[in-house]
Amino acid sequence: MSFVPGQPVTAVVQRIEIQKLRQGDKLILGFSIGGGIDQDPGQNPFSEDKTDKGIYVTRISPGGPADVANLRMGDKIMQVNGWDMTMVTHDQARKKLTKQKEDVVRLLITRKSLEETVRLQLKSMLS
Amino acid sequence: MPAEVKQEQSPSNATSLAMMQEPQEVVEETVTIEEDPGTPTSHVSVVTSDDGTTRRTETKDVSANVKVTKMVKTVTTRTVRQVPLGPDGLPLPEGTSPLGSYTDSIDRRYMKNGSDRFITPQATSTLTRSYNNSYNDSYGETPESQYIRHYGLHDGYADLTDNYGSLSRGVNFRPPRYPYMPNSYRPENSYTLPIRKDDYGHVAQPQVPMGSSTVDLNRSQPERFQPEPYGLEDDRRSLGPEDEEPYELEPDYSTANRRTLPGPNRGRTHREPLRDMHRVRGYPDDPIEAELIEERHPYIHGMYSAPLAQPERGSMASLDRMGGRRSPSIDSIRKDPRWRDPDLPEVIAMLGHPIDPVKSNAAAYLQHLCYENDKIKKDVRQLKGIPVLVGLLDHPKSEVHRKACGALRNISYGKDNENKVAIKNCDGIPALIRLLRKTNDMEVRELITGTLWNLSSYESLKMVIINHGLQTMTNEVIIPHSGWEHEPNEDSKPRDAEWTTVFKNTSGCLRNVSSDGAEARRRLRECEGLVDALLHALQSAVGKKDMDNKSVENCVCIMRNLSYHVHKEVPGAEKFQDPSALQAPGSAGPQRKKKDDAGCFGGKKAKEEWFNQGRKSGDNDKNYDTLDLPKRTEPSKGFELLYQPEVVRLYLSLLTESQNYNTLEAAAGALQNLSAGQWTWSNYIRATVRKEKGLPILVELLRSDSDKVVRAVAIALRNLSIDRRNKDLIGSYAMRDLVSNLPSGQQRPAKNLEEDTVVAILNTIHEIVTDSSENARSLIQAQAIEKLVAINRTSQSARETKAASHVLQTVWSYKELRNALTKDGWNKSHFQPAVTVTPKATKNGKPGYDDTTLPLMEKNQGPRKCGSGDMIPMDELCPDGYSTIDQRDKDCKYKTDDGSADPTEREPLKNDTNRKHYIRSNRPAVSLVDACDVKPQPVDSWV
């Protein structure tokens, strides 16, 4: 997914709701994120557009809450509980995800396979 | 005339690439069609190459046979240049061991006996392609292909069906136009007709000084449609922009003539035609002509009608097609049988006529007659017409030398090299060069350079052209049109290159001659201003984002050729032979890599500092990282520019932006050439490619639809992996794309790559996994074993089988991987050669083995090989869960050895110390970028 800064983003998104898991005295989601506007986007292996400074899911702990909720490695997180995640620092994203008073996070994510699926469907509809 | 030029013109095809791509099927159809008309089209073949792999294949099949041996040769040369690696890296003595067998397979194409073991696999592969006709396709796509095609055209003309095939391709281009064909005279013709129409339109424009693009189109098209339309076109050409009427008339002429000459009819009438010619072409300046002109109008109709009487059949049809314009003349022609066309000896005699317009008209007529007609060309030669034409080149009247030049261009076109030799034998080449120096007329310059381009396709004339014309072409055309200036004034602005036809023709000619071996390369490299101007032109193309045209393609191909063997052939190269390379080849020392694990995004350096302090390898790394280039007191110029690390960015820009497969292949080939060998500069080049983030660009191109591009890129990656760090990165990020190009089991992948390409990829994989169990693990994770085993067992190609078998043996030689392999259900038998292989190879001391098998590897690398022991056990690196995931996903994830289990948050940006934890073994396919210390480490945080 690429976008032009300042322009609305068009993306195929999926809503994912993750129930946090209590581990000790912490609530965890069971995945890790990478990216952010303070990170080097060129090192993000998941983005197609190497200038994309979005937040990406980099790892999933097997069987963890994120895994159960069908989050996948490489997913790009667009929103967390309604908060935009396309223009935030890495740490801001982390904090939004790890608020201890919330035990559910709702993510809006996009992934390549979704876009491809939609594109294929559109294609078949058009043809 | 344009047709002749067309060989060179292939670029036009490139322009239209977009269009072409769509209908592969169409192409096939075209092929059949072409047979009928007997039109030889070089264009078609060209198109094919441009479009995509598929087309190529088709083309290849058809055209490969057609092409003349000589042509093939030319191609070969180029190819060879492309592949620079082999000779350097290969250890001769080792050839005996497993390597030897390896080499053989590779070389086969090249030498049937496989006698040349010395040739590195890479080199061999490249060479082979060009060498063998069958391979032509892939390589042919490159510059050579064009030539091949050209030849093919002629052949086709002569009578080869195959050629037709090539023609069809050209036709494909135009599929849309078919509808235009108005006449249903003959089914076959109908095909041709549409073409004509196009040409016609173009032609009309070209005569007037039009944009170069138009001209190109004309030229290219004419080739395709050789049949009658050509004649028409030629006529137009000769007529020049001046008069419309004559123009129309001439076409009739031409048709008539054609029929007449070959046939028995010739004798019938007298020489009316001559008059016509005068009239038609009358030149206002010339008093005589003026008189003629006055006469001409009244006569015109009569004249035309006369020739027409006979020519009804095919020619008529063509005329009709052309459109309403001609119909009147046609009618008159049919009615009036009085006139006859001059026969060939008469025309040639007229070349010596005291009246200049007669000379020029005779030459123009000759040009027309020769168009697409090999028989007439031969007749002209045997009637000693060529020396007369060459003599006219020095004629002071521009009309005369222009027409003479046009005739020579057509005569020089085609597979019949004797025509070319005949031009050379009467000192035609110096005469052309003289004229080039003298004239400022753009059209004449186009004709001259077009003729030279045609001549340059014949091997034995290349050196002659270099001797007589290199500096002149450079000074008169290349430098001025490239926009480069020797010593720019302060007030002069840097100029952009102009993609004129003259430039295109000249660069095409130089491209051809640049393939004539070491001496030719030396002459070109040392030609003052040439390399500078070519580079300037290419940089200008990149700056303007105008990288798909033929001129750019030619320039890149020249650069690629000149980059071949720079490390051996350039004056003073000995000084740069890297002594350290002998010890610790290409990249850093053997040990460091293991611990550092190349794949990581960041952190390498930190790790190195941690672990490798004081090590020699550490020092090496440092060198590469800082790119400690030799100091220069003055800016580099001339041939030195060829291998300065700065060119890497240029080639990478081309690789990123160009849509022209030939350009892509040549740019990859240039990098391949530059990264071969062991001198200091190739070390810098390899490191620079990494620094400039070139590896991801190259890997991306592994997905190209173009077979030859994939092949060139694969070989380039192999050379680049001589650098240890590159090897690690490539192993991490390119493996998946390399493997996906391999055929799987019964069905071949969608791309259906050629054997050459598959072998090249297998060799590259072999190079990458050799001496790197880490990379071997990546290979396993990329699910390659299944494919390799399938190739090893079932491939029809012995070369593929052998190459796959070598890879498998190498993989099996890593004992630490056997567990994983066994778990996946593989056992030793899968890794043994399907037929006869020396099982020992696996077990042998690695150093020897590696050297032998891998042509690319430098002997020096020996030390590294032993390194496998040093490697970090894979287990450490990847938790299983992750690794599996990675394999599946096209995009890899960041790998960490921390394991998913670790829930701890990392503080973003503070990772320096933690780097080693991050991202380890599995590398995302995307980022091949070498992690530099400068960059912040990628951070990821558990949440």
Q: B554 and B523: one domain?
A: yes
Among B71-75, B438-442, B500-504, the least confident range? B71-75
Residue among A45, A50, A98 whose CB faces B943 most closely = A98
Q: Which of A29, A43, A50, A110 to mutate to test the interface with B (most CBs of B within 10 A)?
A: A43
Tell me phi and psi for residue A110, to 5 degrees. -130, 145
Q: Residue B532 is part of a domain; what is its CATH number?
A: 1.25.10.10
Q: B640 and B766: one domain?
A: no
Q: Is residue B700 part of a domain?
A: yes
Would you call B939 and A34 a contact, using CB atoms and an 8 Å cutoff? yes
**Does residue B151 or residue A104 have the better pLDDT?**
A104
**pLDDT for the residue B633:** 64
Q: What is the count of structural domains for chain B?
A: 3
Q: Could you tell me which residues come within 8 angstroms of residue B575 by beta carbon, excluding any fewer than 6 positions away?
A: none
Per-residue DSSP letters for B670-706?
Answer: HHHHHT-SSBHHHHHHHHHHHHTTHHHHHHHHTT-S-
* B808 closest CA partner among B856, B782, B841: B841
Q: Is residue B31 part of a domain?
A: no
Q: Could you tell me which residues come within 8 angstroms of residue B623 by beta carbon, excluding any fewer than 6 positions away?
A: none
**Does residue B404 or residue B496 have the better pLDDT?**
B404
Please compute the mean of the pLDDT values over residues B458-477 and round it to a whole number. Answer: 93
- As a whole-number percent, the residues of chain A with pLDDT over 70 amount to 94
**A58 interaction partners in chain B (CB closer than 8 Å):** 893-894, 940
Q: How far is A106 from chain B (nearest CA, A)?
A: 14
Provide the pLDDT confidence category of residue B577 given band limits of 50, 70 and 90. Answer: confident
Would you call A58 and B923 a contact, using CB atoms and an 8 Å cutoff? no
Would you call A39 and B936 a contact, using CB atoms and an 8 Å cutoff? yes
**Does residue B761 or residue B609 have the better pLDDT?**
B761
Is some CB atom of chain A closer than 8 A to the CB atom of B929? yes
**pLDDT for the residue B868:** 30
Is some CB atom of chain A closer than 8 A to the CB atom of B935? yes
CA A42, CA B891: separation in Å to the nearest integer? 14
**Does residue B295 or residue A54 have the better pLDDT?**
A54
- pLDDT, chain B, mean: 61
- Chain A residue with minimum CA distance to B909: A39
**Does residue B179 or residue B565 have the better pLDDT?**
B565
Would you call B908 and A60 a contact, using CB atoms and an 8 Å cutoff? no
- φ/ψ region of B930 (left if φ > 0, alpha if ψ in -120 to 50, else beta) reads beta
Residue among B900, B905, B923 whose CB faces A62 most closely = B900
Q: Is residue B390 part of a domain?
A: yes
Residue B74 has pLDDT above 90, yes or no: no
Is some CB atom of chain A closer than 8 A to the CB atom of B832? no
Q: How far is B658 from chain A (nearest CA, A)?
A: 19
Residue among A45, A62, A112 whose CB faces B925 most closely = A45
How many C-beta atoms lie closer than 10 Å to residue B48's C-beta? 35
CA B767, CA B763: separation in Å to the nearest integer? 6
- As a whole-number percent, the residues of chain B with pLDDT over 70 amount to 45
Provide the pLDDT confidence category of residue B488 given band limits of 50, 70 and 90. Answer: low
Spell out a b/e string for B838-876, using b for 16 or more CB atoms within 10 Å of the CB, else e: eeebbebebbbbbbbbbbbbbbbbbebbebbeebbebee
How many DSSP H helices and E strands does chain B contain?
A: 57, 1
Please check whether residue B369 is in contact with residue B254, taking contact to mean a CB–CB distance below 8 angstroms.
yes
CA B408, CA B405: separation in Å to the nearest integer? 5
How many C-beta atoms lie closer than 10 Å to residue A103's C-beta? 12
Residue A28 has pLDDT above 50, yes or no: yes
The end-to-end CA distance of chain A, in Å, is 24
Is some CB atom of chain A closer than 8 A to the CB atom of B901? yes
Per-residue pLDDT of B316-336, as tens digits, reads 333 333 333 434 444 444 555
Among A59-63, B285-289, B302-306, B576-580, the least confident range? B302-306
**A50 interaction partners in chain B (CB closer than 8 Å):** 926-927
Residue B652 has pLDDT above 80, yes or no: yes
**pLDDT for the residue A16:** 93
Per-residue pLDDT of B235-264, as tens digits, reads 333 333 333 333 333 333 333 334 334 434
Provide the pLDDT confidence category of residue B453 given band limits of 50, 70 and 90. Answer: very high
**Does residue B402 or residue B496 have the better pLDDT?**
B402
Helical segments of B477-516, H only = 479-482, 501-513
Residue A50 has pLDDT above 90, yes or no: no
Residue B819 has pLDDT above 70, yes or no: yes
Would you call B903 and A28 a contact, using CB atoms and an 8 Å cutoff? yes
- Chain A residue with minimum CA distance to B898: A59
Q: Is residue B71 part of a domain?
A: no
Q: B701 and B786: one domain?
A: yes
Q: Is residue B96 part of a domain?
A: no
Please compute the mean of the pLDDT values over residues B826-852 and round it to a whole number. Answer: 49
Residue A26 DSSP label: E
Residue B10 has pLDDT above 80, yes or no: no
Q: Is residue B661 part of a domain?
A: yes
Please identify among residues 579-608 of chain B the ones whose CB lies closer than 8 Å to any CB of chain A: 601-602
Residue B889 has pLDDT above 60, yes or no: no
Q: B446 and B538: one domain?
A: no
CATH number 2.30.42.10 is the correct assignment for the domain at A13-126: yes
**pLDDT for the residue A55:** 93
Provide the pLDDT confidence category of residue A1 given band limits of 50, 70 and 90. Answer: low
**pLDDT for the residue B566:** 87
Q: B478 and B412: one domain?
A: no
Is some CB atom of chain A closer than 8 A to the CB atom of B894? yes
Q: B641 and B701: one domain?
A: no
**Does residue B212 or residue B647 have the better pLDDT?**
B647
Find which of A6-20, B108-122, B172-186, B364-378 is predicted with most confidence, using mean pLDDT: B364-378
- Amino acid type, B498: E
Q: Is residue B649 part of a domain?
A: yes
CA B809, CA B854: separation in Å to the nearest integer? 12
**pLDDT for the residue B651:** 94
Q: H/E element holding B556?
A: helix B550-563
Q: B453 and B469: one domain?
A: no
This prediction has a pTM of 0.51
**pLDDT for the residue B337:** 60
**Does residue B790 or residue B25 have the better pLDDT?**
B790
- Amino acid type, B863: P
**pLDDT for the residue A122:** 78
Please compute the mean of the pLDDT values over residues B116-120 and round it to a whole number. Answer: 41
Tell me phi and psi for residue B290, to 5 degrees. -55, -45
Its domain, for residue B564, covers: 462-485+496-575+635-684
Q: B571 and B473: one domain?
A: yes
**A23 interaction partners in chain B (CB closer than 8 Å):** 903
Please check whether residue B879 is in contact with residue B124, taking contact to mean a CB–CB distance below 8 angstroms.
no
- The percent of chain A in helix, strand and coil, each rounded to the nearest 5, is 25, 30, 45
Q: B674 and B697: one domain?
A: no
Q: Could you tell me which residues come within 8 angstroms of residue B772 by beta carbon, excluding any fewer than 6 positions away?
A: B593, B727, B728, B731, B867, B868, B871
* B697 closest CA partner among B926, B915, B423: B926
- Chain A residue with minimum CA distance to B901: A61
CA B499, CA B1: separation in Å to the nearest integer? 20
**B923 interaction partners in chain A (CB closer than 8 Å):** 45
Is some CB atom of chain A closer than 8 A to the CB atom of B306? no
Helix/strand/coil for A97: helix
Per-residue pLDDT of B912-927, as tens digits, reads 333 333 333 333 333 3
Would you call A34 and B894 a contact, using CB atoms and an 8 Å cutoff? yes
Is some CB atom of chain A closer than 8 A to the CB atom of B690? no
Q: Is residue B67 part of a domain?
A: no
**pLDDT for the residue B834:** 61
**A39 interaction partners in chain B (CB closer than 8 Å):** 908-909, 936, 938-939
Among B337-346, B438-447, B755-764, the least confident range? B337-346
Query: Which of B804, B830, B856 corresponds to the end of one domain?
Result: B830
Q: B534 and B678: one domain?
A: yes
Residue B101 has pLDDT above 70, yes or no: no
- Chain A residues contacting B via beta carbons under 8 Å: 23, 26, 28-29, 31-34, 36, 38-40, 42-47, 50, 58-62, 64, 73-74, 89-91, 94, 97-98, 112
